[in-house]
Amino acid sequence: MSAKGFTNPIVKWIDYRLPVFSYLHHELHEYPTPKNLNYWWNFGSLAGIFLVIQIVSGIVLAMHYTPHTLMAFDSTEHIMRDVNYGWLIRYIHSNGASMFFLVVYIHLFRGLYFGSFKAPRELLWMIGVVIVILMMATAFMGYVLPWGQMSFWGATVITNLFSAIPVIGDPIVTWLWGGFTVDNPTLNRFFSLHYLLPFVILGIVVVHVLALHQHGSNNPIGIDIKGPQDSIPFHPYYTIKDIFGLMVFMLFFAYWVFFNPNYLGHPDNYIPANPLVTPAHIVPEWYLLPFYAILRAVPSKLGGVVLMFAALIVLFLLPWLDTSKVRSARFRPIYRQFFWLIVIDCIVLGWIGANPPEGIYIVIGRIATTYYFVHFLIIMPLVGKLERPLPLPTSISESVMKKKPGLAAAE
């Protein structure tokens, strides 16, 4: 697409010098997209939208918030009670974080089910894992800012993870804190980084989209586009589908913001931070619970920390751990069952992470942690080798068109 397609003289003038309109037209309008994408493919653009929601609401909150141990809690309450619509913006931001993770986790499991991480999309997948890790760091630091009890003790526990590193662990923790405990210097730097990291994420999202557009979206049957009959232009077909999905998801989001804004948080965080009293149960936000469960599954400090980070690192290796040539689990009867097992396993880990580490919870946590690693390191490579996949359709177009007459007959 060259500047010739545009009729507006100003657009033509600009595009000749800076082909931004050609670029946008190419990537968002005519961009050929598989014609069979289902609603699971909505969650990528949804994630992008939530990143923007978080950045916009966060910038506004930063206008009213004070990152100081003596004022942070009060300024948060000031936002909630005094600032015009402050309550709304803060609830959007805190619940938006949960929605962002929910959307990204669905996006991630979508990729896992339909094999979107396989060649030639390995880098695309790995960049995505980097984004998830950065999101976790950002969310953790954001949770510290209101300076409630959970903020303080969450920060203490998580920064102390680094003290498990032999020899240099303690100096690293002191360096992270800027003191001998979590205190004002810690709060200050977390605020600074919490403001910075979303923009880093935004930059990496751009790289993620660039990598995506190199080979285009994967699709539910996981075979490549073989000709023009297999694809449709992104606009208007997928823009409208994405917008429809967005509106439905916004209803869900609005439920949390307006009717249940504190359900996903923890009441202890409405108690100002007290360095002398640890709350009876320290739990992170729901989206970090599975990793917290893995941390606590091991009766060794270093072992737990190593395993928790390994749970994320292993995701980088998936493109090579999955040995199957077939992408979509639709044609992989065995893998499909194991996929649902790992989904259940992650939910179980989340449930264990929310419970105190005692009695039966320890046993279940250890089994679920073991299964998590067994799934990725043993089951995935083996199933790819042993399983006999179902026959693949010859083209995307064929698989779509075959359904049509059936549907017509049913009507």
Partner 1 sequence: MADAKATSGHRSGGHAGGETRRDFLVVAANAFVGVGAAAAIWPFIHQMNPSADVLALSSTEVDISSVQAGQSITVLWRGKPVFVRHRTQAEIDAAAKDDAVSLPDPEKDAKRVKKPEWLITEGVCTHLGCVPLANKGEYNGWFCPCHGSHYDVSGRIRKGPAPKNLTIPPYAFVSDTVIRIG
Catalytic residues: 213, 217, 241-242, 285
For residue 185, state whether it binds partner 1 (rule: CB under 8 A). yes
User: What are 250's two structure tokens?
Assistant: 């916004």
CB of 129 to partner 1, least distance (A): 25
Alpha-carbon dihedral 254, 255, 257, 260, rounded to 10 degrees: 180
Nearest-angstrom CA–CA distance, 54 and 47: 10
C-beta of 346: minimal distance to partner 1 in Å?
A: 21
What's the rounded Cα separation, in Å, for the pair 236 and 326? 30
CB nearer partner 1, residue 260 or residue 300 = 300
Report the candidate in 137, 80, 184, 88 with the shortest Cα–Cα distance to residue 284.
137
Residue with structure tokens 């662990």?
169
Which residues, other chains included, contact 3 with Cβ-Cβ below 8 Å and sequence gap of 6+? Answer: 12, 15, 16, 19, 21, 22
Residue 191 to residue 62: CA distance in whole angstroms: 9
Range 303-322, binding partner 1 (CB under 8 A): 304
Name residues contacting partner 1, limited to 165-184 (CB under 8 A).
174-181, 183
Among 4, 9, 247, 358, binds partner 1 (CB under 8 A): 358
Q: Which of residues 146-165 bind partner 1 (CB under 8 A)?
A: 153, 156-157, 159-161, 163
Using CB under 8 A as the binding rule, whether residue 301 contacts partner 1 is answered as yes
Q: Does 282 bind partner 1 (CB under 8 A)?
A: yes
For 33, list phi and psi in degrees, rounded to 5: -125, 140
Name the minimum Å distance from CB 355 to partner 1: 12
Q: Where are the beta strands (DSSP E) in 180-257?
A: 231-233
251 belongs to the binding site for partner 1 (CB under 8 A): no
Residue closer to partner 1 by CB (options 279, 384) is 279
Name which of 365 and 384 has its Cβ closer to partner 1.
365
Which residues of this chain interact with partner 1, rule CB under 8 A?
153, 156-157, 159-161, 163, 174-181, 183, 185, 189, 275-282, 296, 298-302, 304, 356-358
